[in-house]
Amino acid sequence: MAEPMGFYTDTTVCIGCKACEVACKEWNQLPSRNGGQTTLSGNSYDNTRALDGIHWRHVKFVEQFTDDRKDGRWLLMSDVCKHCVQAACLEVCPTGAIIRTEFDTVVIQSDACNGCRDCISACPFGVIDINPASGTAQKCTLCYDRLQAGMQPACSQACPTESIQFGTIRELKDRAQKRVAQLQQMGEKRAYLYGADEKMLGGLNSFYLLVDRPEVYNLPPDPQMPTRNLKLGSWFSVLGAVLVSLFGVINFRNRGAEERP
Amino acid sequence: MNTPPSSTFFSAPPDWSWLVVLYFFVGGLAGGCYFIAVMIDFLGRPTDRPLARLGYYISFPCIVLSGILLTLDLHRPLRFWHMLIESNTFQPMFKPWSPMSLGSWALTIFGLFSLIAFVSALSEEGRIDSPRARMWRPPAPVGAVISIIGGLLAFFVAGYTGVLLAVTNRPIWSDSPLLGMLFVISAASISASLMLLLAHRSRWTMPGVNALHRLDGWVVLLELIVLIAFLVSLGPVFRALVSAWGVLLLLGVIILGMGIPLALFWRRDLLGEHNVLGIAVLVLIGGFLLRLIIVFSAQGV
Ligand code: SF4
């Protein structure tokens, strides 16, 4: 296996230009929404709004302003599939369409997917959705086709500020930690890495440098694997079956003892 | 920004809709009617045989309908077989830790058991001429083995849907481990109710009807307790149900589908001869609404 590859996204240098979104759409030939007619969100410059089957990159615009709008800041973050080391989507996929590649990334094989949508509800980050053009679940492939050809993903290549950086996870973590230290030293004490260590789903192969709580960026503070409920849920179901059987035995055994309903 | 009560609030809804709600109901009936019929086969008197046959007669069409509903719900229905066979390698596709994968196999195999019981019931009634098929149900030894395996699969089919919802990252569904248990018990209550409804219509008076009626009462009580435990186990996520869905849950499921039927069990003279009918209809409505609310409420948050 090649070395694990991924993205490190430094949100502090993102300028919200959406070049990554455009590059992703172009390279992956993703259709436009609404037949190409512009629909505005009406409350933000963020008109993409969310990741879905035809938006595999989404630049989030977090607008933090005081009520009188005298003070404020923008938090910008280019969101994408996290290519989790322990991937919830891959875990539940019943068709085997979701695979882990030799680059330790997570890819949905569109020709195997039958559109059951189990992965959509399993992903803790709300990344996957159905692409209406294919009728299958789709998301970022971390440009698997480009990686196999020795190229870097379209989005990181297009990013003009190097907010999105591509490389081996080892190297990216190193770079990211240095950047956090630099920011801290400059007085940005809130800087930290989200998903870089193994505690979060074994590590996110697309991790972030953030300067506010995860939920401010619409990221889960504590994402979990869906199978956390499997054992206990199954045992409780067995208990339910045992209780129903027990009631059955009791009622059918002494049925002669009582009058008709 | 307010912190949501659970990290599950950052996931996306899968848009499982009416087809899935219907499947949860019909699949519950398929499993529930089968295991009740098996219980009657083992514990009932010879006069109760028509009641057991009724269970198998409901189970098989329901499991066929379940397969159709699930296939139609796929965005690529013609690829339904990818659930069982890996499309690239043509090897069996089986992931025991994925409830949807396990469930696909269970539905397929249970469908076979349900068909066997269906045919056996038909032959017992003389509707098809196959004396051998009569041995596929108890008390014949082969039939006993078939029924035990089929009964276990029936419980699985009735309950795995709840576990499937729990093994996601959606709010409500994955914030409690009790959904599978709730679905198993609810499958028993709706199945007993449907069987009673049909038995009542045919004016059957065998002792099994009485036993089934009492079983239904106990199961509805158990279901109410487990539903309350489920709501409590949601903890702070309960606030996601403070909505129109929550009101419907209280009025349609807890009061109409459980409270009133329990009152009718207790005061048998309340509706006179329509008592059994009233209970059965209300429990069926409650069971349907329960699935509807669980499916839709978690996708609206
Ligand atoms: S972020 Fe979601 S879609 Fe991407 S690998 Fe993780 S679980 Fe799968």
Per-residue pLDDT of B145-171, as tens digits, reads: 999 999 999 999 999 999 999 999 999
Q: Which of A64, A82, A86, A95 to mutate to test the interface with B (most CBs of B within 10 A)?
A: A95
Q: Are A140 and A24 in contact (CB under 8 A)?
A: yes
Poorest-pLDDT segment among A142-146, A251-255, B2-6 = A251-255
CA closest to A261 among chain B residues: B210
Sign of the alpha-carbon torsion through B73, B77, B83, B88: negative
Share of chain B above pLDDT 90, in %: 93
* Residue B244 DSSP symbol: H
Sign of the alpha-carbon torsion through B288, B294, B299, B301: positive
Q: How confident is the model at residue B268 (pLDDT cuts 50, 70, 90)?
A: confident
A chain contacts of residue B209, beta-carbon cutoff 8 Å: 260-261
Q: Are B42 and B138 in contact (CB under 8 A)?
A: yes
Residues A80, A45: Cα–Cα separation, whole Å: 18
* CA atoms within 13 Å, Cβ hemisphere of B26: 18
Share of chain B above pLDDT 70, in %: 100
For domain B16-167, give the fold. Formate dehydrogenase/DMSO reductase fold (1.20.1630)
pLDDT at B283: 98
Run of H or E including A144? helix A144-148
A261 has a chain B CB within 8 A of its CB: yes
Look at residue A222 and tell me whether its pLDDT is greater than 50: yes
A257 has a chain B CB within 8 A of its CB: no
B140 has a chain A CB within 8 A of its CB: no
| Best CA proximity match to B241, nearest among B5, B50, B3, B1 | B5
Q: How confident is the model at residue A261 (pLDDT cuts 50, 70, 90)?
A: very low
Poorest-pLDDT segment among B22-31, B201-210, B285-294 = B201-210
Look at residue B301 and tell me whether its pLDDT is greater than 90: no
Q: How many residues does chain B have?
A: 301
Look at residue B53 and tell me whether its pLDDT is greater than 70: yes
A chain contacts of residue B159, beta-carbon cutoff 8 Å: 237, 240-241
Look at residue A16 and tell me whether its pLDDT is greater than 50: yes
Determine whether the interchain pair B180/A233 forms a contact, defined as Cβ–Cβ distance below 8 Å: yes
pLDDT at A2: 80
Region of B234 on the Ramachandran plot (φ > 0 left; ψ -120 to 50 alpha; else beta): alpha
A220 has a chain B CB within 8 A of its CB: yes
Residues A107, A150: Cα–Cα separation, whole Å: 17
Tokens 């709501």 belong to residue: B231
| Best CA proximity match to B112, nearest among B70, B50, B167, B157 | B157
* Helix/strand/coil for B216: helix
Q: Which of A117, A234, A243 lies at the smallest CB-CB distance from B14?
A: A117
pLDDT at A260: 46
Look at residue A257 and tell me whether its pLDDT is greater than 70: no
pLDDT at B3: 84
Question: A133 to chain B nearest CA, in Å?
Answer: 11
What value does the mean pLDDT take over residues A67-71? 92
Residues A94, A85: Cα–Cα separation, whole Å: 19
| Best CA proximity match to A126, nearest among A43, A230, A202, A56 | A56
**Of the residues A5, A82, A103, which should be mutated to test ligand 1's pocket, given the most ligand atoms within 8 Å of the CB?**
A82
Determine whether the interchain pair A114/B80 forms a contact, defined as Cβ–Cβ distance below 8 Å: yes
Q: How confident is the model at residue B1 (pLDDT cuts 50, 70, 90)?
A: low
pLDDT at A254: 65
Q: Are B51 and B195 in contact (CB under 8 A)?
A: yes
B105 has a chain A CB within 8 A of its CB: no
Task: State in Å: Cα A98 to ligand 1 middle.
Answer: 10
Q: DSSP string of B123-172? A: HHTTSS--GGGGGGSTTSHHHHHHHHHHHHHHHHHHHHHHHHHHSS--TT
* Helix/strand/coil for A52: strand
Share of chain A above pLDDT 70, in %: 97
Long-range pairs for B143-149 at CB < 8 Å and ≥24 separation?
B143/B41, B144/B42, B146/B113, B146/B116, B146/B117, B147/B38, B147/B41, B147/B42, B147/B117, B148/B38, B149/B113
Q: How many CB pairs under 8 A join A and B?
A: 232
Strands A192-194 and A129-131, by their bridges, are unpaired
Look at residue A259 and tell me whether its pLDDT is greater than 80: no
Residue A21, number of CB atoms within 10 A of its CB: 20
Look at residue A255 and tell me whether its pLDDT is greater than 60: no
pLDDT at A34: 87
What value does the mean pLDDT take over residues A9-33? 97
What value does the mean pLDDT take over residues B15-41? 98
Determine whether the interchain pair B166/A229 forms a contact, defined as Cβ–Cβ distance below 8 Å: yes
Residues A20, A6: Cα–Cα separation, whole Å: 15
pLDDT at A36: 87
B212 has a chain A CB within 8 A of its CB: yes
Instruction: Give bridge partners of residue A130 from the DSSP assignment.
Output: A137
